[in-house]
Amino acid sequence: MAKIRSTTVCAIMHNGEVAIGADGQATMGNTVAKNNVRKIRKLKDGKIVTGFAGSTADAFTLLERFEEKLNTYGGNMKRGAIELAKDWRTDRYLRRLEALMVVADKEEVLIISGTGDVIEPDNGIATIGSGSNYALASALSLKKYASQLSAEEMVREALTVAADICIYTNHNFITETVK
């Protein structure tokens, strides 16, 4: 899977709730270009939430394609993700897009990549971007030792840890939940 720098996206499934969040920083090389980019989108009347890391234009192209796949397959998120991943890997234009996506509904969380991967994490936690390993470590610990927190609270805490460590992640978080 490609290593995408310049953001952190975290999704956590916990106690019947799914939350996804991302920081708001956009960089151009080693310079902060913007502090409040919205990297989280709700689809299908809020039943599916997506987050992206990578080139913004590429991510928006992929979001549009994913929404088309959802419409084609009756809102079936997993089927839409698989079909998007197949197109992304084989289509000459899409193959050049540099982004990763996390998609979630009330039942599952998936990571979609341009290499044809559709990954459903075993632990209900998905992270992408430059701060993903920091957020993942934090989320795993929170889920194990702070289970009284909501999924959204866990996402915010995991993103805070990533933002404290990763220079490509800031503290301007946007979170969304699916219940």
Catalytic residue set: 7
Radius of gyration of the chain (CA): 15
d(C-alpha 138, C-alpha 84), whole Å: 30
- Which H or E run contains 127? strand 125-129
Coil, strand or helix at 47: coil
CA-CA-CA-CA torsion sign (119, 83, 15, 163): positive
